[in-house]
Structure 1
């Protein structure tokens, strides 16, 4: 099971072990974005299978970055770890900001999903040489602005900034705040975060530079290198110095987009019209897409629980009339030691008279599980359920029968009916099950319905597939 830890400043060097060679090109796959926007993203990280796994939580909903492998990382194993975590936690699987080159793998992996790819969040990627040189007639506007800046402010010089320049940077923010015109809450929040991040100037893996004029900074930029891409996280300049922005963009690229840096990512525009216009004027070589896979399971198509019939039994949704029989089944500790789950794990003191039926209904409403009441001549004598849907076409099945009805084949009959319904009506690819090694009755039942596929110290495992 994955164990996640909230991202803090002290964790940045650990994240950089993975991000420094990451070529996904998206700004979210960088250490500074995780720190800068942690108030919005609430990022947590874990390490598994030689990969970095990041879980964000946006508006209360968890979502995962695509795994970032280290030198010996196993993406397949990391994806499995994320899927297992979601199953264990009872949460839906959402893989967000997936780079285009990884989408084919997920398209094959998940049979059902909702896909988003919003224009507003695509990153602007530029050829490094284009920003260093502004070549050709398409960049004539930028060259004209730079030339005008050089003519108006011939003494202005771009230079790298380090820890000793923090007082100079602080003075820049004072000057910048005085001319800052945006009034939206998001713009002011971004400015406050930028100020905080610039205090990290001097950290070895951050690239900071600015245009200095008459002893003051009139622009500043901060970037982080990930693979062949330089991610420019912050770009600010004093509006009154005509041409300072293109001059800073060019000099920053000349200073830092070297030694194998092929691209610069100047991040997304978040739908801001002014930012979009400006970023497009620099002629990006591409807009890097960010795909979001909201993985669904086979229950999504069901509005209600169907009724299934076998030779002797009827399988259908639980009703209020089943409350007494179902509560007796759930509270039978001796019988349920083979069930593998103690209700007290999740019970928070709710009224037990209604608790178990409430859980069943909530699980189906949230598409986590489907529970069938097993009925003999109209009487509820047990349950069979499909749960732990893995998003890849699989689910686990369980069955339990009231003790007075055991040993008569009702469990086998109900179990087989739901397994076949899951495979042929619900369109699952496979159904799995397990039983404790000491549970001879369950072993015989599962052996008659499924194929044994393995064992460990505790369980026998079974599988049935189309």
Structure 2
């Protein structure tokens, strides 16, 4: 019988034991991502047959599983059969990566329904292009960046715990002028939580001040030797070029030696999709639903 327990900060070492052997392209198996949203999505886990089983639920929907970590081809069918006994909705697994789909099709062809989940595809960018903004397709971003630099007195600070209140100030102001989406109110709590545990979680964070006022911050992590992830990026929309500035400066400060930057999914939100596409991702990493 599977016995699930809620995710806590104390589980970081255990999770990384299972996560580190993989070279994930998506953000969903970042411990930080799981920890940030553990309360909103009721993240729980257990160990079964030497595999890490993670389950989540989205709002009032039934629980679903992430692809098991640490499975072997000789025990994958056993694990999936066990998970089916705990499924109480249409979806058995969500956010599955391509490598898992390949294994599943090789082992159990035609046994499961597999669907692409476009709204949750992750946007992957070439780090050097985000830093240089040199291509013609990024000329608008480059112009906005130059406008900000030339027309503002600003300061950039690398995060320490004394800046927590400024990050919360920024995100609270950001929410006053954004669409009221059902999950966004939880982000303030999530940001506060991860920044309180900044040293444990190995985050990178930068805060931008314009005329001595806190106006933007970004939070990211190095997922593996090839991939960094931007988890949170908030800026005052009324300041032209501020988003372009923190995007570029954050990448060149922390990730200049990392090949790719993952800026997560668009969730099917039209304006967010437009914004992510405007930076010309080199590819979108697919995710799949398994029924």
TM range (shorter): 0.7 to 0.9
2:234 to 233, 236, 253: 236
Name the SS for the 1:39 alignment partner. coil
What is the CA-CA distance between 1:57 and the residue it aligns to? 3.5
Name the SS for the 1:23 alignment partner. coil
What is the CA-CA distance between 1:191 and the residue it aligns to? 4.4
5 Å-filtered alignment, 1:62-461, equals 62-69=63-70, 74-77=71-74, 79-86=76-83, 94-110=92-108, 111-153=110-152, 155-177=153-175, 179-227=176-224, 228-259=226-257, 261-294=258-291
Unmatched tracts of structure 1, length 5 or more: 295-466
Matches of 1:176 and 1:11, distance apart in 2: 31
187-196 vs 27-36, greater mean Cα deviation: 187-196
Q: State whether residues 158 and 248 of structure 1, in contact with CA within 8 Å, keep that contact through their aligned partners in structure 2.
A: no
Change in Cα spacing, 1:170 to 1:284, as seen in structure 2 (3 Å) is same
Q: TM-score, normalised by structure 1?
A: 0.56
Change in Cα spacing, 1:55 to 1:160, as seen in structure 2 (3 Å) is same
Residues 320-373 of structure 1: CA deviation (Å, up to 9, x unaligned): xxxxxxxxxxxxxxxxxxxxxxxxxxxxxxxxxxxxxxxxxxxxxxxxxxxxxx
Q: Report what 1:436 is aligned to.
A: none
Q: State whether residues 122 and 290 of structure 1, in contact with CA within 8 Å, keep that contact through their aligned partners in structure 2.
A: yes
Matches of 1:125 and 1:270, distance apart in 2: 15
RMSD of the alignment, in Å?
A: 2.6
Q: State whether residues 2 and 81 of structure 1, in contact with CA within 8 Å, keep that contact through their aligned partners in structure 2.
A: no
Change in Cα spacing, 1:204 to 1:270, as seen in structure 2 (3 Å) is closer
Matches of 1:86 and 1:161, distance apart in 2: 41
Unmatched tracts of structure 2, length 5 or more: none
What is the CA-CA distance between 1:60 and the residue it aligns to? 5.0
Change in Cα spacing, 1:147 to 1:20, as seen in structure 2 (3 Å) is farther
What is the CA-CA distance between 1:241 and the residue it aligns to? 1.4
Structure of higher RCO (CA pairs closer than 8 Å, 6+ residues apart)? 2
Name the SS for the 1:76 alignment partner. coil
Change in Cα spacing, 1:284 to 1:133, as seen in structure 2 (3 Å) is same
Q: State whether residues 166 and 201 of structure 1, in contact with CA within 8 Å, keep that contact through their aligned partners in structure 2.
A: no
Matches of 1:64 and 1:90, distance apart in 2: 8
Matches of 1:94 and 1:88, distance apart in 2: 10
Change in Cα spacing, 1:50 to 1:258, as seen in structure 2 (3 Å) is farther
246-255 vs 79-88, greater mean Cα deviation: 79-88
What is the CA-CA distance between 1:143 and the residue it aligns to? 0.7
What is the CA-CA distance between 1:100 and the residue it aligns to? 1.5
Q: State whether residues 172 and 216 of structure 1, in contact with CA within 8 Å, keep that contact through their aligned partners in structure 2.
A: no
Name the SS for the 1:242 alignment partner. coil
53-62 vs 158-167, greater mean Cα deviation: 53-62
What is the CA-CA distance between 1:145 and the residue it aligns to? 0.6
Q: Report what 1:47 is aligned to.
A: 47
Q: State whether residues 168 and 188 of structure 2, in contact with CA within 8 Å, keep that contact through their aligned partners in structure 1.
A: no
Residues 26-64 of structure 1: CA deviation (Å, up to 9, x unaligned): 111111221222234322223356543212244453322
Matches of 2:171 and 2:192, distance apart in 1: 7
Larger radius of gyration: 1
Query: Is 1:26 the counterpart of 2:23 in the alignment?
Result: no
